[in-house]
């Protein structure tokens, strides 16, 4: 007997609207000195949605957003939901060239920016993609520059379709060019529920967001806020002293960080001879393998660090260590969240406990694929399982240890840097014959990219000149920190670059 009516579990009452109905006066978001209740946020999202609608944005429209963490960002995310439009968050660290490529690739119909990025956005000058600026006044009202709020009531949605695309978020890969990961509302919902089942959910929770909202680790905090009906303390950027102050003064109970941030926070804490209050119940540590000394230091200080492993394709956390296991399984990323299935594959077979292999994921928090990249989607999935490309193993109790992110991925201060993208840029230089990029260990950033180059016969280019060439074309965090000239690059029998061999060529 199939009595399924899947439509029942497909449409949920709008999350923000429910928060505004249930707890209109509860703090939704604090940013700087401005505090918005859920009623404030709800009203501002509706108002902004009506303005955006006057620009022709409707269901399925792709709207790019170039902005720093702030109230305009938050209002815009929810305004687009009310219109059924798709958010394309742009990494503010990208070069104009990189931004233009993404805007065109995603076929954005509108580019929104905040005031800080207004001139950069104007500079892009894409004929088919108009730019409008989001203006915030001192009272925290957000509106579109020079666009009157429509008098007419355009129809705003009061239900969320879990199957609908909320976001297209670009992430690079082995192919050189970034791909747009489809993130549905359902992925956000299931991810938030999985996280709450693992970490617990307290109605008075307050989540500090200091990671960029254009990354999934930041954006998903905004979604958890409205799914859980809890407060967010939003920081424009990471600044260790300000974060520590907020933890002490704003009743923060959960914070998401990457290792380099946590290291700086601890250093600032020591400089002030302080410690964190006990209401801070979870320091969610993602964005790549954490140095063991850092974990041990936190354990000594009784800082409740919870390691997690996730990626854009899994809508942030996929595997998380439960607080109860934090010490017993120090160094592990934990176990898959309740809705997620995990397996390690080695030579097309499930690996045995302790055996290394590629991490595969499956479940309702995993992306259905890459926007307009059917081949990339087909490549990434095997029998419904996403191949993450990352290496790891499970211990006898099924806890995941991530050995390395995919061999070609460099994680620098929590940002993913893809060698193929840097290689493609350098290869375009007239004096470069071959190039291979890999990560070099770095005390401050975890890793930084460096490039190995074989020059064209007869050329005599200088490293400084190549570095300047890359710097013009790549976001700062992708700039190679060194160029090494070599006679030949390590390649396998098929002629394919073997990047892990590059690491062995690094000067000791």
**Shortest distance in whole angstroms from residue 3 CB to its own copies:** 5
Rounded least distance, CB 463 to its own copies, Å: 45
Contact indicator for 419, 437 with CB cutoff of 8 Å:
yes
Tell me how many degrees the CA angle 129-133-143 measures, rounded to the nearest 5: 125
- 87 vs 227, which CB is nearer to its own copies? 227
Range in contact with its own copies (rule: CB under 8 A) among 46-54, 258-266, 333-341, 493-501: 333-341
Q: Is the CB of 9 or the CB of 468 nearer to its own copies?
A: 9
Least separation, in Å, of the C-beta of 200 and its own copies?
Answer: 5
- Cα dihedral across residues 207, 210, 213, 214: positive or negative: negative
Handedness of CA 45, 46, 47, 53 (dihedral sign): positive
Among 176, 200, 251, 331, binds its own copies (CB under 8 A): 200
Closer CB to its own copies, residue 110 or residue 240? 110
| 210-249: contacts with its own copies (CB under 8 A) | 227-229
Taking the complex as a whole, the smallest distance from the CB of residue 41 to its own copies amounts, in Å, to: 17
Question: Given the complex with its own copies, which of 313 and 421 has the nearer CB atom?
Answer: 313
Asked if 201 interacts with its own copies (CB under 8 A), we say: yes
CB within 8 Å of 6: residues ≥ 6 apart: none
Site membership for its own copies, residue 3 (CB under 8 A): yes
Please report how close the Cβ of residue 58 comes to its own copies at its closest, in angstroms. Answer: 13
Is residue 324 within 8 Å of residue 292, measured between CB atoms? no
Stretch that binds its own copies, among 33-41, 179-187, 408-416, 455-463 (CB under 8 A): 179-187
What does DSSP say about strands 335-336 and 316-320: parallel, antiparallel, or unpaired?
A: antiparallel
| Window 50-69: residues binding its own copies (CB under 8 A) | 60
Give kind and range of the element (H or E) at residue 446: strand 446-455
Which residues lie closer than 8 Å to 275 by C-beta, 6 or more apart? 269, 301
Q: Could you say whether residue 452 binds its own copies (CB under 8 A)?
A: no
User: Please, are residues 356 and 332 in contact by the beta-carbon 8 Å criterion?
Assistant: no
Neighbouring-strand partners of residue 391: 358, 404
Q: Which two tokens stand for residue 232?
A: 């967010």
Q: Does 339 bind its own copies (CB under 8 A)?
A: yes
Q: Applying CB under 8 A, which of residues 13, 350, 354, 374 lies at the interface with its own copies? A: 13
- Tell me the residue ranges of DSSP E strands in 331-374: 335-336, 341-346, 349-350, 357-362
197 SS3 class: helix
Q: Least distance in Å: CB of 21 to its own copies?
A: 6
Q: Report the alpha-carbon distance of residue 135 to residue 76 in Å, rounded.
A: 11
Contact residue for its own copies among 12, 120, 482, 505 (CB under 8 A):
12
| Least CB distance to its own copies at residue 20 (A) | 11
Report yes or no: 214 and 336 within 8 Å, Cβ to Cβ. no
Give the residue among 410, 463, 415 at the shortest CA–CA distance from 437.
410
Between the alpha carbon of residue 132 and those of residues 93, 113, 119, 136, the distances in Å are 19, 7, 11, 13
Nearer to its own copies, 317 or 416 (CB): 317
- Residue of the chain from 287, 310, 363, 446 that contacts its own copies (CB under 8 A): 363
Measured from the CB of residue 24, what is the shortest distance to its own copies in angstroms?
Answer: 8
Cα–Cα distance measured from residue 156 to residue 148, given in angstroms and rounded to the nearest whole number:
18
Q: In this chain, which of 97, 104, 125, 341 binds its own copies, going by CB under 8 A?
A: 341
* Minimum gap (Å) between residue 395 Cβ and its own copies: 12
Does 182 bind its own copies (CB under 8 A)? Our answer is yes
- Contacting positions for its own copies (CB under 8 A): 1-6, 8-10, 12-13, 15, 18, 21-23, 60, 162-163, 165, 182, 184, 186, 190, 193, 196-197, 200-203, 227-229, 322-324, 335-336, 338-341, 362-364, 366, 368-369, 384, 398
């Amino acid at each position: 007997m199939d009595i399924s009516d899947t439509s029942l579990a497909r449409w949920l009452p709008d999350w923000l609207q429910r928060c505004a109905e249930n707890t209109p006066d509860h703090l939704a978001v604090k940013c700087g000195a401005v505090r918005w209740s859920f009623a404030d946020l709800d009203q501002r999202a509706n108002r902004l949605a009506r303005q955006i609608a006057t620009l022709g944005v409707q269901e399925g429209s792709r709207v790019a957003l170039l902005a720093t963490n702030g109230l305009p960002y938050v209002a815009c995310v929810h305004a687009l939901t009310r219109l059924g439009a798709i958010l394309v968050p742009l990494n503010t660290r990208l070069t104009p060239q990189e931004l233009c490529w993404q805007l065109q690739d995603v076929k954005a119909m509108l580019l929104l920016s905040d005031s800080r990025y207004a001139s950069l956005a104007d500079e892009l000058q894409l004929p088919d993609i108009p730019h409008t600026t989001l203006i915030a006044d001192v009272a925290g009202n957000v509106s579109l520059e020079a666009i009157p709020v429509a008098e007419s009531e355009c129809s705003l949605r009061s239900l969320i379709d879990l199957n609908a695309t909320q976001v297209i978020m670009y992430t690079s890969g082995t192919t050189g060019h970034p791909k747009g990961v489809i993130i549905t509302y359902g992925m956000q919902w299931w991810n938030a529920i999985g996280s709450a089942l693992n970490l617990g959910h307290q109605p008075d929770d307050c989540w500090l967001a200091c990671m960029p909202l254009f990354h999934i680790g930041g954006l998903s905090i905004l979604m958890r806020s409205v799914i859980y009906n809890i407060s967010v303390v939003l920081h424009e950027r990471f600044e260790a002293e300000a974060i520590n102050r907020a933890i002490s003064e704003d009743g923060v109970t959960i914070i998401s960080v990457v290792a380099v941030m946590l290291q700086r926070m601890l250093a600032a804490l020591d400089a002030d001879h302080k410690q964190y209050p006990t209401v801070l119940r979870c320091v969610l540590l993602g964005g790549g393998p954490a140095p063991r000394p850092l974990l041990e230091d936190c354990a000594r200080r009784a800082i409740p660090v919870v390691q997690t492993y996730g990626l854009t394709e899994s809508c942030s956390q996929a595997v998380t260590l439960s607080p109860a296991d934090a010490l017993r399984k120090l160094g592990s990323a934990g176990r898959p969240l309740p809705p997620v299935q995990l397996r390690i594959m080695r030579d097309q077979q499930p690996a045995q406990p302790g055996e290394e292999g590629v991490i595969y994921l499956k479940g309702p928090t995993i992306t259905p694929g890459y926007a307009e990249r059917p081949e990339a989607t087909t490549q990434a999935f095997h029998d419904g399982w996403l191949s993450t490309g990352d290496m790891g193993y499970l211990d006898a109790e099924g806890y995941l240890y991530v050995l390395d992110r995919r061999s070609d991925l460099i994680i620098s201060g929590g940002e993913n840097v893809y060698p193929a993208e840097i290689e493609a840029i350098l290869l375009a230089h007239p004096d470069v014959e071959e190039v291979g990029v890999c990560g070099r260990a770095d005390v401050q950033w975890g890793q930084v990219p460096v490039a190995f180059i074989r020059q064209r016969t007869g050329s005599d280019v200088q490293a400084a000149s190549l570095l300047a060439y890359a710097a013009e074309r790549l976001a700062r965090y992708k700039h190679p920190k060194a160029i090494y000239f070599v006679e030949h690059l390590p390649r396998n029998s098929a002629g394919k670059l073997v990047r892990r061999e590059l690491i062995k060529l690094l000067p000791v």
